[in-house]
Amino acid sequence: MNYRHAFHAGNFADVLKHIVLARILIHLKAKEAPFRVIDTHAGTGLYNLEGDEAQRTGEWQEGVALVGRQPPPPQVGELIAPWLQLCGNLMAQKPPLYPGSPWISSDLTRAQDHLVFCEKHPEDAGRLRRNFERSKRVKVMEGDAWKLLPGLLPPPERRGLVLVDPPYEQDNEFKVIADALAGALKRWSTGIYAVWYPIKGMREVENFANRLAALPAGRTLRFEISRYKVQRVDRLNGCGMIILNPPWKLEDELRAIGDYLAPLFAKEGAGFLRLDWLKEEEKR
Catalytic-residue membership of 165: yes
Catalytic residue among 107, 165, 234, 259: 165
* Whole-angstrom distance, CA of residue 225 vs CA of residue 205: 13
Q: Are 245 and 218 in contact (CB under 8 A)?
A: yes
How many other β-carbons are positioned within 10 Å of the β-carbon of residue 76? 18
* Whole-angstrom distance, CA of residue 191 vs CA of residue 99: 24
Catalytic positions: 165
